[in-house]
């Protein structure tokens, strides 16, 4: 029986003189020899021509034409040079040390915490979020599959499409937010000479060009980009650390303090753990025998430590606002202004702020690349559309969101995307329970050759039930400016965010029986 998703490709097939492969054997792979061989007739049909063009670009430029295909162990390099292994950590270091982490460091003061409490939460929870991503990353080299493809072995064929859609929205949405905030900072540092629109376009296009080439270019770029931003944050800490105010006590007490701590935990955890839905995308080139302990530890520290560095700098500067009224006045105008005010001399401060703004490019490179892979896994027809076109669509979406909503949409986007971040908890719980409980922690129990065949994958009933109950859980425990759930409302006057904790418990407890019944009834 033909797959209903392939019906729209009939026109292209009728024009192609070669017989079509069986449905279950359709892949997106085009070999370099086929793309460059003059003996083959030119391809016919729009999709065939586009894939032929992409394969030729892959041959000459290495733009990765078969990105979502499973990378088999025998096709991967067994011995990876040490400097390339460092990319397990340095990739994330470049993506995490940015203005967003610095801004998050100011939230502890807003929630009523003192400096010591803010530092403890940001450091420990950053490592916790990094550990979640590290656990997801171990699936990449072991399976040779991208993160959304790995999801099919727990969520099943159809439910995993919803996960891919959510991931597309999350990655492109945060990229748009990053472009808006980076554009605002560029406008501030140029004293208005660089318009917000121009700043957005510069950040988006620069990230897009790097992501376009593919995984190799991303790993090379991100392996070194973090150095600049590490130096910047060290300078910020060096110049502002003497004004850190560790003497002023927390302004929140009792239940309000508990609520503030919980809300800060939710924000910091979400900032780190949200990478879990793309982690495997960047490990498929490692050999299947690579130490999963190494992958876990390098990913955890590669995310947790750089994220904490940026947030600690934010915590220190925010505490100094208590004793530096001039810095506080600058902060009211915007984050870029307080950086300029707190660093000396002013020209040097402007230079550092300009470089710091460019950190958004590092984050966007990862988001744009992974979004294009997720688009290809929403349906089979989408997988046959070249990644190049999905990259173009991703850029158009980012520019549309960022330019169209640069005056008002930023706050709405951040609230909406914070809401989406809760689903990462349900995602990782389902992924890990499937692996360690139902598949005994053994990748030999996965039918990896069937990753793209619906009949060889779980139905996803158990995952759908657990994920749906997880949605109910985080709605009850969330604490946002526009909505406070009934559980969160019980903690302090302003509420305390317990969405991730409650979602973890509900998802973990519901997936076990639901998946067990699914296996008993359908044996898949």
Residue spans of the domains in the chain: they are 82-408
Position 250 scores a pLDDT of 92
Position 44 scores a pLDDT of 67
Instruction: State how far the Cα of 23 lies from the Cα of 32, in Å rounded to an integer.
Output: 23
* Inter-residue contact 482 to 400 (CB < 8 Å): no
CA distances from 56 to 53, 62, 65, 283, 393 (A): 5, 9, 9, 25, 21
Position 220 scores a pLDDT of 85
Nearest to 236 by CA among 333, 308, 344: 344
3-state class (DSSP) for residue 357? helix
Instruction: State how far the Cα of 512 lies from the Cα of 235, in Å rounded to an integer.
Output: 49
- What does the buried/exposed string (b/e) look like for 196-215 if buried means 16 or more CB atoms within 10 Å of the residue's CB? beebbbbbbeebbebbbbbb
Position 401 scores a pLDDT of 86
Instruction: State how far the Cα of 397 lies from the Cα of 395, in Å rounded to an integer.
Output: 5
Instruction: State how far the Cα of 391 lies from the Cα of 472, in Å rounded to an integer.
Output: 34
Position 280 scores a pLDDT of 94
Nearest to 164 by CA among 152, 176, 153, 182: 152
Position 42 scores a pLDDT of 56
* Inter-residue contact 189 to 353 (CB < 8 Å): yes
Q: What are the tokens at 308?
A: 């904490």
Cis peptide before 345 (omega within 30 of 0): yes
- How is domain 82-408 classified at the CATH fold level? Hydantoin permease (1.10.4160)
Tell me which DSSP letter residue 73 carries.
G
CA distances from 452 to 156, 277, 456 (A): 10, 19, 8
Which ranges of 275-408 would DSSP assign to H, the alpha helix? 292-320, 325-333, 335-342, 346-357, 359-376, 380-384, 387-404
Position 8 scores a pLDDT of 41
At 37, which helix (H) or strand (E)? none
Instruction: State how far the Cα of 237 lies from the Cα of 119, in Å rounded to an integer.
Output: 13
* Inter-residue contact 371 to 171 (CB < 8 Å): yes
* Inter-residue contact 339 to 236 (CB < 8 Å): yes
* Inter-residue contact 469 to 510 (CB < 8 Å): yes
Position 265 scores a pLDDT of 93
Give the 3-state secondary structure of 202-232. HHHHHHHHHHHHCHHHHHHHHHHHHHHHHHH
C-alpha dihedral sign at 369, 424, 311, 173:
positive
Instruction: State how far the Cα of 197 lies from the Cα of 217, in Å rounded to an integer.
Output: 27
Instruction: State how far the Cα of 238 lies from the Cα of 455, in Å rounded to an integer.
Output: 59
Would you give per-residue pLDDT tens digits along the chain (524 residues)? Answer: 444 444 443 334 334 444 444 433 333 343 344 444 444 555 666 667 767 666 776 655 556 656 788 988 877 877 778 877 888 999 999 988 888 889 889 999 999 999 999 999 999 999 999 999 999 999 999 999 999 999 999 999 999 999 999 999 889 888 888 888 788 778 878 877 888 888 889 999 999 988 888 787 888 888 898 999 999 999 999 999 999 998 889 999 999 999 999 999 998 998 899 899 999 999 998 988 899 999 999 999 999 999 999 999 999 999 999 999 999 998 888 788 888 889 888 788 888 888 888 888 888 999 899 999 999 999 888 888 888 889 899 999 999 988 887 766 556 555 666 677 789 999 999 999 999 999 999 999 999 999 999 999 999 999 999 999 999 999 999 988 778 999 999 998 888 999 999 999 999 999 999 999 999 999 88
Instruction: State how far the Cα of 460 lies from the Cα of 417, in Å rounded to an integer.
Output: 25
């Amino acid at each position: 029986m033909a797959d209903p998703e392939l019906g729209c490709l009939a026109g292209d097939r009728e024009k192609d003189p070669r017989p079509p492969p069986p449905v279950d054997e359709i892949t997106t792979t085009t070999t370099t020899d086929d793309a460059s061989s003059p003996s083959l007739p030119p391809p016919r049909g729009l999709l065939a021509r586009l894939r032929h063009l992409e394969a030729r670009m892959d041959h000459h430029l290495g733009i990765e034409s078969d990105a979502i295909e499973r990378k088999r162990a025998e096709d991967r390099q067994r011995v990876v040079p040490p400097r390339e292994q460092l990319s397990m950590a340095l990739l994330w270091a470049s993506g995490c040390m940015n203005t967003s982490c610095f801004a998050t460091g100011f939230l502890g003061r807003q929630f009523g915490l003192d400096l010591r409490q803010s530092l403890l939460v940001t450091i420990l929870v950053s490592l916790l979020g990094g550990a979640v991503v590290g656990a997801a990353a171990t699936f990449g080299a072991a399976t040779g599959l991208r993160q959304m493809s790995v999801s099919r072995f727990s969520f099943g064929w159809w439910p995993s499409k919803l996960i891919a859609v959510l991931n597309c929205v999350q990655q492109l949405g945060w990229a748009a937010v990053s472009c808006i905030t980076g554009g605002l900072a560029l406008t501030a540092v140029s004293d208005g000479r660089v318009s917000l629109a121009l700043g957005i376009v510069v950040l988006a296009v620069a990230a897009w060009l790097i992501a376009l080439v593919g995984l190799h270019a991303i790993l090379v770029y991100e392996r070194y980009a973090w150095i600049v931003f590490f130096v910047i944050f060290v300078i910020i800490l060096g110049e502002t650390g003497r004004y850190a105010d560790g003497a002023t006590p927390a302004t929140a007490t009792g239940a309000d303090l508990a609520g503030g701590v919980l809300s800060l935990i939710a924000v910091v955890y979400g900032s780190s753990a949200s990478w879990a839905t793309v982690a495997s995308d960047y490990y498929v080139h490692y050999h299947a025998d690579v130490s999963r302990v190494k992958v876990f530890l390098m990913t955890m520290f590669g995310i947790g430590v750089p994220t904490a560095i940026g947030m600690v700098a934010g915590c220190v500067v925010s505490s100094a606002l208590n004793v530096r009224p001039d810095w506080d006045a600058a902060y009211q105008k915007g984050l870029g202004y307080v950086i300029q005010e707190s660093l000396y001399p002013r020209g040097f401060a402007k230079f550092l702020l300009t470089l710091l703004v460019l950190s958004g490019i590092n984050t966007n490179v990862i988001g744009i690349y992974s979004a294009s892979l997720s688009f290809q896994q929403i349906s089979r027809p989408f997988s046959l559309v070249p990644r190049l076109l999905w990259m173009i669509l991703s850029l158009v979406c980012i520019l549309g969101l960022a330019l169209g909503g640069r005056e008002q949409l930023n706050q709405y986007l951040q609230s909406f995307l914070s809401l989406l971040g809760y689903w990462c908890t349900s995602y990782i719980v389902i992924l890990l329970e499937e692996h360690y409980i139902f598949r005994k922690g053994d990748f030999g129990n996965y039918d990896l050759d069937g990753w793209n065949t619906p009949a060889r994958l779980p139905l996803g009933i158990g995952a759908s039930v657990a994920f749906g109950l997880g949605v109910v859980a985080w709605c009850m425990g969330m604490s946002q400016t526009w909505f406070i759930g009934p559980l969160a409302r019980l903690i302090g006057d302003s509420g305390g965010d317990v969405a991730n904790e409650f979602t973890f418990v509900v998802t973990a407890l519901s997936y076990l029986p639901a998946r067990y019944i699914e296996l008993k009834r359908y044996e898949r």
